Amino acid sequence: MTIFIVLLGPPGAGKGTQAKVVSKTLNVPHISSGDIFRENFNNQTSLGKVAQGYIQRGELVPDDITIAMVRDRLSKPDCAQGAILDGFPRTTAQAKALDNLLEEFSHAVDVVCYMKVPQAVLLERLTGRWTCREKGHIYHERNNPPKQRGLCDIDGSELYQREDDQVETVKRRIQVYFEQTAPLITYYQDRGLLVEVDGARSVGQVTDQLLTIAKRVQRKDDGA
């Protein structure tokens, strides 16, 4: 059976971390808008160049650019049995576009997990994050520090703080989220698809809750 899960939540909620674990357990791909953007950045596509400017300012990428990238990714064979969507949709317009995209492939969103985290926790998580230049491995100066300061444990490359992880940009990203993305909560609530998850708990506790939700959806679809 197929299962399409949307992970909804502000920057720093832990969507990427959870999506990797849940996708592996359910054996469906993790589709991250961030990864799709970076692939386009690295290939210097026209869409990538435009999107990069918005991200560096802590703003949302325009819908038509994002949707075009996601459409291409969902058309890949590994999405035939479902996917974990992380970072998309971010607006109600994107949510409606996602419905249309999945309908093209005879699928639909099965459940939306809203990872709720207090704003103070989000700031602490994001401003302490450092990224590996070589492969993008993520560290946190408090919660997951590297063995050697400033260097990646895995490939030894330099760690740097992305512009969108610096304090002022982080505050702007969170503000943009609550202004433009939070209405998705109402959108999915009205459709009976939203389930709230306490994203401030430990990684393992959040994972357990997400997998429980996924299994419940699968049983429902099976008619159990």
Write the DSSP string, 36-71: HHHHHHHTT-HHHHHHHHHHHTT-PPPHHHHHHHHH
Q: Is 162 a catalytic residue?
A: yes
Phi, psi of 72 (to 5 degrees): -60, -40
Q: Which residue carries 């035939």 as its tokens?
A: 80
Residue 133 among the catalytic residues: no
Q: Select from 78, 103, 99 the least CA-distant residue to 24.
A: 78
Among residues 49, 96, 133, 173, the one annotated as catalytic is: 173
Q: What is the helix, strand, coil percentage profile of the chain, to 5?
A: 50, 15, 30
Residue 32: φ, ψ to 5°: -105, 125
Name the DSSP class of 198: E
Q: Is 173 a catalytic residue?
A: yes
Tell me, what DSSP letter sits at residue 160? E
Q: How many CA atoms lie within 13 A of 46 on its CB side?
A: 2
- Say whether 172 is catalytic: no
Selected catalytic residue, list 20, 133, 142, 162: 162
Tokens read off for 130: 């450092």
List the catalytic residue out of 49, 73, 129, 133. 129
Spatial contact of 23 and 35, defined as CB atoms under 8 Å apart: no
In this structure, what token pair is assigned to residue 2?
């197929």
Catalytic residues: 15, 90, 129, 162, 173
